[in-house]
Chain A
Amino acid sequence: MITKTKTHIDRGTFTITFQRTFAAPREDVFDAWTDPEQIKHWWDPTGAPLAGCEVDLRPGGAFRFTMASDHAPPFTGVYRVVERPAQLVFDAMGGVGTVRLEADAGTTRMVVTIRCTSAEHLDQFVQRGVDAGTDQTLDNLGAHIARSRKAR
């Protein structure tokens, strides 16, 4: 698998870090993270648009992303820091998420950190992702099998 996202899991600080560069200005990346109409189109890893997306974009404001599939519970939280276009910090699922955007020669380097409260919390977080990913893989496999059956 070719990955464009650098993932680092640090069990010592209970932190997951994703790093990725986009060929777009910081403002566009920030807006994609904060405008419900845009979030809808990328948040669900299955590629389906979100069934619901509520965003109260201010420190103390709540958000709620509801996926169309029932693989995962809604992603809910509260914004802490809203600094367009450099930084977004939010509390979610018992941890703290940070999106940092740095301009780099016309591109944007995005660093997303998820800080959990303990090693166990980190494990739970990863496990949920693994489970969701596995479910999805199984779904894809099911769809693939159904297709190849039809083809026969």
Chain B
Amino acid sequence: MNGPPLDHVFAALADPTRRAILARLAEGEATVSELARPFGLAQPTISKHLRVLEQAGFIEQGRDAQRRPRRLVVGGPLRDVDVWLQPFRAQWERRFDALDALLQRKQQKAKRTRGLKGTPR
């Protein structure tokens, strides 16, 4: 993988405020004060979170030099969040695979029983 190591990506995502900031920026760019408002946090606190997200490669500064909005990096590590969710998805996938196998065994058993009775198809 190119870009920041996955450890930084995970660490950046480990905080609920930072995840909420990413969710907000997914809707479009926002300035520090715009980001600070809904969270009821002081601007320096938000700035600190933004720095972590920036270093992890999630966000960058927009073009407007005056407002200095932040925005999501296109094709940034957010793609790898899916990697982070992989164990969760895999857990349910395995569970439903087992359910599928159970249902298939049941279908085959029913078919065999019908066969033994000599019921025509």
Contacts and interface: CB of A to CB of B under 8 A. Distances in A.
B93 interface: yes
A41 to B, nearest CB: 5
Nearest to B87: A133
B11 interface: no
A126 interface: yes
Contacts of A43: 95, 98
> What DSSP secondary structure best describes chain B's contact surface?
helix
A96 B92 CA distance: 17
A45 B95 contact: yes
Contact of A5 (B23, B89, B101, B102): B89
Contact of A7 (B20, B92, B100, B106): B92
A106 B95 CA distance: 22
A28 B111 CA distance: 14
A5 B103 contact: no
A141 interface: no
A126 B106 CA distance: 31
A60 interface: no
Contacts of B19: 119, 123
Contacts of A45: 90-92, 94-95, 98
Nearest to A134: B87
B85 to A, nearest CB: 7
Contacts of A5: 89, 92-93, 96
Report the interface size class on chain A: 20 to 34
Given A28-B106, A123-B16, A133 B88 contact: yes
Interface in A1-38: 1, 3-5, 7, 9, 11, 18, 20, 22-24, 28-29, 32, 38
A55 interface: no
A24 B107 contact: yes
B93 A4 contact: yes
A4 B97 contact: yes
Given A24-B107, A28-B106, A120 B85 contact: no
Contacts of A24: 103-104, 106-107
Contacts of A46: 94
A11 B20 CA distance: 9
A129 B94 CA distance: 12
Q: Enumerate the 6 nearest inter-chain pairs by beta-carbon distance, A residue then B residue, closest first.
A: A133-B87, A42-B98, A129-B88, A24-B103, A45-B94, A42-B99
